[in-house]
Amino acid sequence: MFMTEINFKGKEFVYNHHLSVPFHPLVPHADKGVGEVAFDGNLIVQGDNLKALKALMPMYAGKVDCIFIDPPYNTGHEGWGYNDNVNSPMIKEWLASNPVGEDDGLRHDKWCAMMWPRLRLLHELLGETGSIWITLDDNEIHRGRAILDEIFGTDSFVGQIAWQKRTSRENRAVLSPSIDHMLVYSKCLKDTWKLRRNLLVPNENGYTNSDDDPRGAWASIPFSAQGHRDNQVYTIVSPAGVKLKPPKGRCWGATEPEFERLKREKRVHWPKNGQSRPRIKQYPEEAKGLVPMTLWFAKEVGDTESSKKHLLEVFAGNEDVALEIHAPKPVGLVKRVLEIATNRDSIVLDSFAGSGTTAHAVLEQNNFDKGSRKFVLVEMEDYADRLTAERTRKVIGGYAYQGTQSTELLRESITWTRFKNAERTLEKISKIQVLDGPKFDRVTTEVKDGELIVSGEKDYAQNTEGLGGSFTYCTLGDAVEMDKILTGEALPAYNQLGALLFHMATNCPLEMAGIDQGANYLGQSEDRHVWLIYRDDLDWLKSQEAALTLSFARQIAADKTDKPHLVFAPARFVSQKLLNEEHLQVEFAPLPFALYRIERN
């Protein structure tokens, strides 16, 4: 079997770098979230996304249904820096030239080195039937696809979507860029994912009720089918007396008796007063889903210009914050992804969260279909709180904003002829200002992309109702170094250490809701129950309570008899030999050696 492989400078050093990234616990900040702190609910994490993805692994490995990321496009003007602390002299030398600029001869290698370990961790977090959607432009689309081919496999490539990111023409460019790309890969094979993905619901805006049909609004669909079937080729006589045959190379959409039944039910629509072939009424609840296309128009999902205006509305009065994001993705774009790739209870991850569009889209989609999707966002920049989380807070609680409604009054190309007759053009503008000016708060004139545009603008103020919901805001704590816990330098919370140990022992994510700290119980995998005797209290850890005892082993073996038990503890007061002799099926797993030696001092 042919294996796709991409080579870039530094690959040998980052190939398994995701395995060596230390575990950093999530530290909640209740004052920055909405609602109760819950690690198994909506999350916004501020911190390096490589470390954050490793922190999420114990809770979310193999559970994420949809990943949407908008990583740096590596245009040379973004100012991103490579800072993964890979222990390699070559990579440390690279850091001297951070941030990555247009003149950096190794900027494409650095981009690949940055993306590789993150995509490896994202692959592990993705569920077996999940999918990943990555937006890129022409700078790295081919390298991005090559990396994904190697990590996911070429058979998991679903498609490459062209999204119309702008509708205006860029006259300064060699070719005016109109699209960005979106790569789509599944964790499973493409044909398997096809059975899981959703079809798109037809747009109900196309339904009307021009004949006062008591069944409600309808749209018409052609009454013909591909191919030739003898019992579906016959002559239809329209109400106008026109004899009609099926289109060439096709047959009617049903047999003649079936067509007569449709007529009796008044389901047949005759275009052009019966002069054209019949069409069949279709009501919204009968419409079949549409297979998603690989071309997404701005009028359907939004463009960067509309998304920027939307973000400015959300941050009305504090526009400087919104302007920190150059080209935020529109909510409609991510909602289209959610429509295709998620169910109502899916987990959605975005590790390059930016302005928080993914959280906004998840909340809107839940509001639309009464879903309970969860979002997990990671943003490393310092605007994670004041922009990413603040947008989410506003969308949840509602916000007031002021806007401007613009009406185009004149648009003319600037030609040499018009330039020579400038006075006539100025007179035309003056008339517009006199006649139309009173209808607006102001009339503006601008020259854009070689055109003169005169617009009337009217200010307005509105309130957007909150969508409801909650989220927990977290930062990353100090790395958990097992052999230093006894010093008290870093004592992670019970659930954070428990999630890490559970994942290490079972290779499964921990269901946080199942943790019972009072009983020292973490949860169960297919083959064992897992326990943790621990408190984030140094004095307690040095006490006799922090040990596995024979009585505790007897108790848990009697309470849960269906499978063996693994107990993490700083010490034990019972030998493994005695546990085996009593057939308790309890195994002791010492916490760091520094703790384990307590029992021998």
| Residues written for the chain | 601
> What pLDDT sits at residue 16?
92
> What pLDDT sits at residue 161?
97
pTM of the model as a whole: 0.78
> What pLDDT sits at residue 204?
55
Q: How far apart are the first and last CA of the chain?
A: 58
> What pLDDT sits at residue 1?
43
Residue 579: how many CB atoms within 10 A of its CB?
22
Nearest to 492 by CA among 529, 552, 524, 532: 532
How many angstroms separate the CA atoms of 157 and 141, rounded? 14
- Write the CB contacts of 359 (distance below 8 Å, at least 6 apart in sequence): 42, 44, 350, 353, 375, 377, 388, 391, 392, 395, 471
SS3 content of the chain, % helix, strand, coil (to 5): 40, 25, 40
For residue 99, is the peptide bond before it cis, meaning its omega torsion is within 30 degrees of 0? yes
For the chain, residues with pLDDT lower than 50 are 1, 593-601
Cα–Cα separations (whole angstroms), residue 391 to 353, 368, 554: 12, 19, 52
> What pLDDT sits at residue 491?
82
